[in-house]
């Protein structure tokens, strides 16, 4: 049995009261590891360590901080396979993605963050008059709490911690209790990579350790990637101290296919690149609403069905597997409940609907849901409006550009959208008019580090980049 510990103040420690949580392999349903069940005492200790380290870390020249971040990139390079296997075992994301896509990209991200450390200390100068000078300077907030989800723990850890550290903040990472092992193992690898207290990792239930962290008056910034409901709870919890917040929350992304599109590329873009493979649709940007131009409706449904029929569900550690399980028993129950909801609402199932042992008989204890597609013309159905976070999509027909835009924007969410068309003018209009933080045209789920990523409406605000972890101060100097 693997046993992991928190990283607090440069030391690897169990929870203050010794409690642990079981970590379950979602492919088998079996407990494979134990993680600390942190609480308020652990939160307090992490904040104290981070506050003690802040003057030294923030006072270090930016190039000095950059050297530490480059060392982290080297850790990712050396331990990529180990971290990938831990994450796949812990949350079910297939190894071919964690090993070939996620981990190599994280080494690159830490290098980019190191290169942007200087941006965090730059300011502007304004000549106010012959004897008056105005200037701005950017300063780190202080202690930044980064709350990360279970679907891509190491990737989200990096997207937050690398930029927060580059900006001069000290950091406390709170991983999701469903999948903390890869981040806790990373803490073991980084225990000597930073001065004590600069980076801290504390696992546990949200109500036990996350809430005390968010409410703590020693915390100066909170960044969350998670559900809209969690974002709302953090907003309420942090209200007394008026902490600045960065939220990347849920989504119900439209993926819009026009008749003039490259239909082969579009079919792949709305299935394996979007909602079915890799992480079994457990992706905040999943294009789970597929809007299809009516002239190509039948052809696209056939193409989607054909691609879905070749999705391979099996042991996620097998490099031939193309889709893994649902992360936990609770999430499995949520996803499967929407199969019943869709049927009651009158949506038509085109394929899928199989669950549990009938999907992967060789792994009967796993949380398996087959790729599933419903069709409807009513965008008000719950399966069209609510985030399912699983391999369940709904296809909706449209006749005109105006109708497609209206359906796409008829959502409480605004995280991302996809548009498939050869019409350049149409592409620009949809980029302009779609209510989402990111719009992909003739591609999907590309999130390069050089571009901001975030949402609007119930999908959050702000984005994880180095300037998001700084505040601007103005000064006026009279000579």
Calpha distance 275→392 (Å, rounded):
7
- Would you put residue 32 in left (φ > 0), alpha (ψ -120 to 50) or beta? alpha
| Helical ranges in 167-309 per DSSP H | 181-189, 211-215, 228-237, 263-269, 297-308
Helices assigned H by DSSP within 374-449: 382-385, 401-409, 424-433
Cross-sheet strand order for the sheet of 289-293:
348-351, 372-375, 392-398, 289-293, 254-257, 416-420, 438-441
- Asked if residue 103 lies in contact with residue 80, where contact means CB atoms within 8 angstroms, the answer is yes
Question: Residue 201: helix, strand or coil by DSSP?
Answer: strand
Q: What is the DSSP string of 274-299?
A: TTSSBTTT--TT---EEEEEGGGHHH
* 345 a catalytic residue: no
182, 83 Cβ separation under 8 angstroms: yes
Which residue in 87, 248, 387, 468 is the catalytic one?
A: 248
In sign, the C-alpha dihedral spanning 301, 302, 303, 308 is positive
Which sequence positions are flagged as catalytic?
Answer: 248
């Amino acid at each position: 049995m693997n046993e992991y510990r928190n990283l607090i103040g440069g030391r690897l420690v169990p929870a203050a009261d010794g409690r642990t949580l079981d970590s379950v392999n979602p492919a088998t349903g079996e407990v494979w590891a134990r993680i600390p069940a942190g609480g308020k005492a652990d939160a307090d200790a992490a904040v104290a360590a981070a506050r003690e380290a802040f003057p030294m870390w923030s006072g270090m020249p930016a190039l000095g901080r950059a050297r530490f971040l480059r060392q982290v990139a080297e850790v990712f390079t050396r331990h990529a396979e180990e971290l990938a296997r831990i994450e796949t075992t812990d949350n079910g994301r297939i190894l071919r993605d964690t090993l070939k896509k996620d981990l190599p990209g994280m080494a690159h991200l830490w290098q980019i963050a190191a290169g942007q450390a200087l941006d965090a200390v730059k300011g502007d100068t304004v000549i106010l008059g012959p004897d008056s000078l105005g200037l701005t300077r950017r300063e780190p907030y202080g202690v930044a709490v980064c709350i990360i989800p279970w679907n891509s723990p190491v990737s989200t850890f990096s997207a937050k911690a690398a930029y927060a550290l580059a900006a001069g903040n000290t950091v406390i990472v709170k991983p999701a209790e469903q999948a903390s092992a890869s981040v806790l193992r990373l803490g073991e690898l980084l225990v000597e990579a930073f001065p004590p207290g600069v980076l801290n990792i504390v696992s546990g239930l949200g109500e036990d350790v996350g809430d005390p962290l968010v409410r703590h008056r020693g915390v100066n910034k909170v960044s969350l990637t998670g559900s809209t409901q969690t974002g709302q709870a953090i907003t309420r919890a942090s209200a007394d101290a008026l902490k600045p917040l960065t939220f990347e929350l849920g989504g119900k992304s439209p993926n819009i296919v026009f008749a003039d599109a490259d239909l082969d590329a579009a079919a792949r873009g709305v299935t394996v690149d979007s909602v079915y493979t890799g992480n079994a649709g457990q992706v905040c940007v999943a294009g789970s609403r597929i809007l299809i131009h009516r002239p190509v409706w039948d052809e696209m449904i056939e193409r989607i069905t054909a691609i879905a029929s070749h999705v391979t569900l099996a042991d996620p550690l097998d490099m031939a597997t193309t889709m893994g399980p649902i992360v936990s028993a609770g999430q499995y129950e949520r996803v499967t409940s929407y199969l019943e909801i869709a049927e009651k609402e009158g949506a038509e199932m085109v394929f899928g609907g199989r669950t549990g042992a009938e999907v992967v008989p060789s792994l009967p204890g796993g949380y398996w849901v087959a790729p599933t597609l419903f069709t409807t013309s009513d965008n008000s159905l719950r399966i069209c409006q609510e985030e399912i976070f699983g391999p369940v999509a709904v296809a909706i027909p449209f006749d005109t550009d105006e109708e497609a835009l209206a359906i796409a924007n008829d959502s409480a969410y605004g995280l991302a959208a996809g548009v498939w068309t050869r019409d350049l003018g149409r592409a620009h209009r949809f980029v302009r008019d779609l209510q989402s933080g990111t719009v992909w045209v003739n591609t999907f789920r590309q999130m390069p580090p050089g571009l901001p990523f975030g949402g609007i409406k119930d999908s959050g605000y702000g984005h994880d980049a180095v300037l998001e972890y700084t505040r601007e101060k103005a000064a006026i100097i009279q000579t």
